[in-house]
Amino acid sequence: MDGTTSDALPNTLRLLSISSSAENRMNLNDLPTDVIRNIMRMVETETMEGMRLISHRWNDTLPENLKKRQLNSTLPRLISFDWTVFPQRNAELHIQLQQKDVTFFGVDWPFSREKVQRPSRDVVRLFRCARKIEGRVARLLSRCSRIEYLTLKMDIVNGNALKIVRDAMKHLQVDDLTMSGLQRMDKESANMILEIVRNNKNTLKWLTLEAEGCSLIEENFYIVKPILAEASTLIPRVSFVVRDPNPRYDLADWTRILGNLEMRNSEMEFFDGHTFFDGYNCAI
C-alpha cells in the first residue's frame, strides 16, 4: 500500500467528524455501510483494529474476509457474562463490565444506571422471549476480546445458545465457562461442547457442568462421560456438579460413579440439600 494513502486516511476520518457549523456536522456512524467496508479494506491491520472501537456498528461491519484475521486483541473485555433462560422461556442477561465500555456494548439499560460512577458496572435486563435475544447475544460476544466468567444457565438442548457460544469462542478468550441447569444432554450438544474443548486456541482454565437432578447421569451417562474424560485432559480444571434434593444414591454410589467417569485431575461435587459429597479423581 502507498504510505501516503495510509497516512492520509486517519486524517480524513478525523475531518469527517469535524465541521465549522453544527447543522453540517457529520458523524462516523452516519457513513453508508459500503463506505465503511471500503475504508477498512484500505488500511493496515493496526489501524483497522482501532476502527472496530469507533462503535459497535463499525465492528459489526468488518468484512467477513477480514474477520478471519482474528482482529480482536484491542476490543474491550467483559468481567462476567451470565445468560439465563427460565422454564417459562423468558431470559435474563447479567453483565459485569468496565463503566467506560457500557456505551460501546450498547447495554446502557435504563434501570441499570447508577448514581455513583465506578470502574466496573453491573447491568441486568429481563427479556420476555428467549429466542429473540439470541442475535443480540451473538453481537455482544463478537464485540469483546475476552470474558473472565461466562455462564449459561439453561437447558442447552433447547435453542441455539450453545452454538452461539461455540462460534464466538473461535475468536473469544474465555477463562471460566460454566453450564448450569443441565437436565439432559443429546449427542449434538455433546459434540458442540467437545468442539469448544478441542479448540486449539482454547484459553479455558476451568470448565464446570452443573446438573439439576440425577437424570443427566441416569439417562445420559455415556454421552456425558466422554465429554468429562476428554475435557479433563485438555483443561487445567474440570468440575461436574450434581444438585438433587431427592437423591437415589448414597456416598458409596457417587464414589463409584466418579471412578467410572474417568476424569483426570478433576472433581465431582454432589449437593442434596443436607449433605455434600466432594470427590476428587487424580488418576495419572
Contact 234, 266 (CB under 8 A): no
**Residue 269, CB-side half-sphere exposure with 13 Å CA sphere:** 11
Q: Which three cell numbers stand for residue 72?
A: 480482536
Does residue 282 carry a pLDDT above 70? no
Give the whole-angstrom CA distance, residue 231 versus residue 169.
Answer: 16
pLDDT band per the 50, 70, 90 thresholds, residue 256? confident
Over 90: is that where the pLDDT of 79 sits?
yes
Q: What average pLDDT score do residues 245-270 get?
A: 71
| Tens digit of each residue's pLDDT (9 = 90 or more) over 182-219 | 988 999 999 999 999 998 777 899 999 998 888 888 88
Nearest-angstrom CA–CA distance, 44 and 28: 19
pLDDT tens per residue, range 5-26: 445 455 545 444 444 444 455 6
How would you classify the pairing of strands 237-243 and 276-281? unpaired
Q: Tell me the percentage of the chain whose pLDDT exceeds 90.
A: 25
Bridge partners of residue 271, in order along the sequence: 243, 276
Average pLDDT of the residues in 245-269: 71
Higher-pLDDT residue of 178, 274: 178
Q: In whole angstroms, what is the distance from residue 32 CA to residue 109 CA?
A: 27
Residue 104 predicted with pLDDT over 60: yes
The pLDDT tens digits for 109-146 are 765 545 455 688 888 999 988 888 999 999 999 889 89
pTM of this structure:
0.70
Q: What is the pLDDT of residue 85?
A: 92
Q: Is the model's pLDDT at 161 over the cut of 50?
A: yes
SS3 153: strand
